[in-house]
Amino acid sequence: VVREVVGHADAVFGVKTGADNSVPFLGLKAGGYWPHNLARGLTNHQSSTLLFDPDTGRALALVSANYLTGIRTGAASAIATKHLSRPDSESLGIIGTGTQSVYQLKATLAVRSIKT
């Protein structure tokens, strides 16, 4: 992980790279935090994921990492809920109303009958 203060708009920017030999992809996530984005009608966190062909280096896909982070975090919450809460649980508390709370709610509804 390479992370640095950009020196512009109080932003912090980082790059993460990875490879998995069991699947034919190389990946890179680039993005960061722009604290003044809310005033622009944008989310403070902006990031993108690029997937590459490891044999040619050719870019194969560009995906919103904001979306991927949301579903990954929601899935982790749902797995924890499934294994750590009582099966008859009907209520859920979420602290915060950010983007990830939506994904956490949707994923939890897939594993528990929460009263809405």
97 and 77 housed in the same domain: yes
- What is the pLDDT, as a whole number, of residue 2? 83
Give the bridge partners for 31, in sequence order: 14, 47
β 25-33/45-52 pair status: antiparallel
Give the structural domain span for 37: 2-64
In a domain, 103, yes or no: yes
Please pick, among 16, 29, 82, 106, the residue that the annotation labels catalytic: 29
pLDDT band at 116 (very low <50, low <70, confident <90, very high): confident
Q: How many domains does the chain have?
A: 2
Q: What is this structure's pTM?
A: 0.75
Task: For residue 29, indicate whether it is catalytic.
Answer: yes
Please count the CA atoms within 13 angstroms of the CA of 90 that sit on its side-chain side. 3
Rounded average pLDDT over 89-104: 90
- Count the Cβ atoms, other than its own, within 10 Å of residue 61: 10
Same domain, 7 and 57: yes
Tokens of 100: 């990830």
Q: Is residue 57 part of a domain?
A: yes
The kind and range of the H/E element at 71 are: helix 65-84
Q: ∠ CA 88-94-96 to the nearest 5 degrees?
A: 175
The pLDDT of residue 71 is above 90: yes
Q: 1: which 2 tokens?
A: 């992980």
Tell me the pLDDT tens digit for each residue of 98-112: 888 999 999 999 999
Q: Convert the pLDDT of each residue in 12-67 to its tens digit.
A: 999 999 998 898 889 999 999 999 999 999 999 999 999 999 999 999 999 999 99
Residue-wise pLDDT tens digits, 79-88: 999 999 999 9
Q: Same domain, yes or no, for 29 and 72?
A: no
Residues 77 and 51 in one domain: no
Q: Give yes or no: residues 27 and 54 share one domain.
A: yes
Residues 43 and 85 in one domain: no
Residue 11: Cβ-neighbour burial (10 angstroms; 0-12, 13-18, 19+): middle
